[in-house]
Structures are given as structure tokens and as C-alpha cells.
Amino acid sequence: MHTKALYTGSFDPLTNGHMNIIERAACLYDTLTVGIISNPSKKAQYPIEERERMIKQALEHLDNVEVAHFSGLLADYVNSGDFDVVIRGLRATMDFEYEIQMAQMNARLFDERVETVFLMTDPKYSFLSSSMIKEVHSLGGDVKGLVPDAILARMDELAQNE
């Protein structure tokens, strides 16, 4: 059976914690789509087109991974895209509380065959979040090694143009 997986998030920006989940999921499933959630009511630091460009560049080395974005209900995107598995990453118990609620709601909304699968973070990245990266980077702190190099280069470039 050909298994199509989807990993969703805001990825504002994508961190090495996300990258670790993506590389591991890409080994587990035939194809993986990284689906960037476009949520107009949530103010993002990086516009959706910018995030998509940055992520595509950072994932060039992965043959079975593609990048897309979507808005609206996750279940509509999942069901219409014929995905079999939705991947989520878990860092700590605080992620678990939220993720179990989402997974249980989604189980009602997803087509019956679709499963949500959780991958535990690599302990190296258990403290890492996009919001932490944005905060440290905006104050001039060094985030090298915490986001993919291609993404950091673009973040530096955009910060210089501000």
C-alpha cells in the first residue's frame, strides 16, 4: 500500500525540531506533504509565500517530500487530498493536552482510514519553538543550529531589510 502522510503546522519559521520530525516521517511513509497552515486571523512574522519558499529550499534534499499550504478546516484538506496519516510532533506534556483534544476532534472529522500519528521530539529540540526563535533572533541572538541554515540566511536578510 502506498501511504501518503501530511505534516501540518504554522512553521513561522520552520525549526530544526520540525526538520527532525520531517526527516523521520519521510523515512516512514512513501510520500510526505508539509502543509503550511494559512490562518489569516493569526498574525505571522513571515507571509505564507515566504514560508513556503524558505521551507522548499530547506527540504530540497528530501525526494519524497513536497510543500503546500492550505487554509480552512484541516479535515477538509486531509479528506480531499487522500492522505492516510497526519503527523504531529510532541515536545512535552503541554503539547499533549492540546494535541489529544485536536486528535480526538479530528478523528470524528477525518475519513475513517486516516490516523493521527505522533512522533516524540528528539530531546535536543524539546525546548525549541518557532516563537522562541523569533524572539531571540529579533533581539540579535544567535540561533544557528536551531533552524536550517537556508532559513536562517533568509531570516537575516529580511531582518536587514526591515
Residues near ligand ADP (CB under 6 A) are 9-11, 15, 17-18, 21, 88-89, 91, 95, 121, 125, 128-130
Q: CB under 8 Å to 70, separation ≥6 — which residues?
A: 35, 36, 37, 38, 77
- Closest approach, Cβ 159 to ligand ADP, in A, equals 20
> 130 and 13 in contact (C-beta within 8 Å)?
yes
Classify burial at 93, counting beta carbons within 10 Å of its beta carbon; exposed 0-12, middle 13-18, buried 19 or more: exposed
- Of the pair 50, 161, the CB lying nearest ligand ADP is at 50
- Closest approach, Cβ 44 to ligand ADP, in A, equals 10
Chain centroid to Cα 19, Å, comes to 8
Write out the catalytic residue numbers.
18, 42, 91, 130
- Of the pair 2, 42, the CB lying nearest ligand ADP is at 42
- Of the pair 119, 150, the CB lying nearest ligand ADP is at 119
CA distance linking residue 115 with residue 140, whole number of Å = 41
- Closest approach, Cβ 116 to ligand ADP, in A, equals 10
- Of the pair 2, 76, the CB lying nearest ligand ADP is at 76
Q: Given the DSSP bridges, would you call strands 4-9 and 31-37 parallel, antiparallel or unpaired?
A: parallel
Closest CA to 148 of 22, 63, 38: 22
Q: Which residues pair with 85 in a beta bridge?
A: 5, 115
